[in-house]
Amino acid sequence: MPSFKITLAYDGTDFVGWQRQANGVSIQGLIEDALRTLDGCAVAVLGAGRTDSGVHALGQVAAFTIARALAPDALVRALNALLPDAIRVMSAEDVPPSFHPQFDARTKTYRYRIWNGEVISPFERRYAWHVPGALDVDAMRAAARLVEGRHDFAAFQATGSDAATTTRAVTASGIFTTEDTEGQTFFPARFELRVPRVLSGGELIVYEVTGAGFLRHMVRTIVGTLVEVGRGRRPVDWMADVLASRDRAAAGPTAPAAGLFLVRVDYGPVAAMP
C-alpha cells in the first residue's frame, strides 16, 4: 500500500480550520472525503499542524496511505479534480509508511500580513489585518527580535489551552515592509510571494517567524503584541516582560485569523523507501 506526502495550499476563509470537526467544513475532512472517493474506502489523513478557522496555508503538509497504486503526479491531478478550488494539492511524493508530517517536522514558518493604511483594498481583506494609523516599524522589528530563542510562551497561547509544555524554540522572528521587499521576495532566495501590485495608499508589513513548534494562537498573539508596540502604547522591552510573565492577560490582543499563513514545513532527510 503506497504512502504519500502531499503539500497543500488553501484559502482558509470559509473553513473551520484544518482539523475535521463535528460541525462545519474542514480541510482535513475534504481531503479525506476526496480520498474515499478515489480509493473506495476510508482514508485517515495526518497533517503537519492544525490551522485555525480562517487561517491560510501556502505549504501545509499531510500524509496518508491508500490501497490504490498511483503515481504522485496522477494523485495530484486526481485530488485537485475532487477538491474545491480553495484547496490545491501542489505536489505529492512517495514516503515510507513511518513518515509522520507532524512529528518528523523540524521547523515551521508562519507569515502574518498587516495592511497599514487608512483604506484596505477589498481584494486584500481576506488576507491581511487592516491596521490604520501610524506604526513604528523599527520598534516592532526590535520587539520581534526579542522573541527569538528558547522561551516559555505561556503568555502567548490561547486561553484554555492544554499544551503539555509551553516552552518553544524560535529560530527566526522578523518584520519586513514593502520598502524592504519592493521587486524582491520576502527573505530573499527563500520564498516566492511578491508584494501584490494591487496594494497602494499604505504599507504592507509582514511578520515572519520560524520555530520548531507553536502553541495555539501563539503567532497571532505575538502579532497583536507587536502592533501594541508599533502604536506606541508599549515600549519595545515590554515584549520581554510579557514573556517573563507567563500570563496571557499581560500580552496584546490576538490578531485576526485572516492575516496568517502557514508558509512552509521543513523536514530532515526522509528515510529511504524499502
CA atoms within 13 Å, Cβ hemisphere of 9:
7
Task: Determine which one of 52, 94, 180, 266 is catalytic.
Answer: 52
User: Is-contact 58 48, C-beta < 8 A?
Assistant: no
Computed on alpha carbons and rounded to an integer, the radius of gyration of the chain in Å comes to 19
DSSP strands (E only) in the chain: 3-10, 46-47, 56-65, 87-94, 105-117, 129-130, 149-152, 167-177, 202-211, 260-267
Is there a catalytic annotation at residue 52? yes
Distance CA 125, CA 104 (A): 34
151: closest CA among 163, 172, 169? 169
Question: Which sequence positions are flagged as catalytic?
Answer: 52
